[in-house]
């Protein structure tokens, strides 16, 4: 079972504002990219659109705290931790750290959280929360709080 995963990205010019600082919306895109790579690395499907019983993972909570800017050209590690697994929901914590000359810097520059809920569709096509499938539960485990909780 796995509790964490990371990707490396470089801040592109199109992801920045007029001051060359990464626009806040891109942190959320990068969190989703990290989540997608994590789920794929486990061999799990991201969605199943075959009706009836389509399965999806809508976001019910999303936040990000920005501590220091990321700038055009910065190379960044985005690490995701499984914070909590409930009956129908999973919460992830994300940490953004800069890589300088291949070394990970200790400071967390941004910290995000996403909570996703497992849903299916009822006979009328309406989304309904459903228990997380067994194949997800078999491959995910919660990370220890000490791994993802950092000092403010």
For residues 51-57, average pLDDT: 70
Assign 123 a pLDDT band (cuts: 50, 70, 90): confident
Q: Which of 17, 65, 122, 135 is catalytic?
A: 17
Which among 16, 8, 150 has a CA at the least distance from the CA of 83? 150
Q: 70-74, 81-85, 119-123: which has the minimum mean pLDDT? A: 119-123
- Choosing among 3.40.1190.20, 3.10.129.10, 3.40.30.10, 3.50.50.60, the CATH entry for 4-148 is 3.10.129.10
Q: Which residue is listed with tokens 């070394």?
A: 103
Assign 53 a pLDDT band (cuts: 50, 70, 90): low
Q: How far apart are CA 90 and CA 134, in angstroms?
A: 13
Would you call 17 a catalytic residue per the annotation? yes
Assign 151 a pLDDT band (cuts: 50, 70, 90): low
């Amino acid at each position: 079972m796995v509790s964490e995963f990371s990707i490396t990205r470089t801040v592109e010019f199109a992801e920045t504002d007029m001051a060359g600082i990464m626009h806040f919306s891109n942190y959320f895109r990068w969190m989703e990219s990290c989540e997608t790579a994590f789920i794929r690395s486990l061999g799990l499907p991201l969605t199943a659109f075959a009706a009836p019983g389509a399965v999806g993972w809508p976001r019910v909570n999303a936040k990000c705290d920005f501590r220091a800017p990321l700038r055009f050209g910065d190379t960044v590690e985005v690490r995701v931790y499984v914070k909590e697994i409930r009956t129908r929901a999973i919460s992830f914590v994300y940490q953004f750290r800069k890589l300088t000359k291949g070394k990970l810097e200790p400071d967390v520059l941004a910290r995000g959280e996403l909570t996703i809920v497992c849903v299916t569709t009822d006979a009328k096509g309406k989304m309904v929360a459903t228990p997380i499938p067994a194949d997800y539960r078999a491959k995910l485990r919660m990370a220890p709080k000490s791994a993802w909780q950092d000092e403010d």
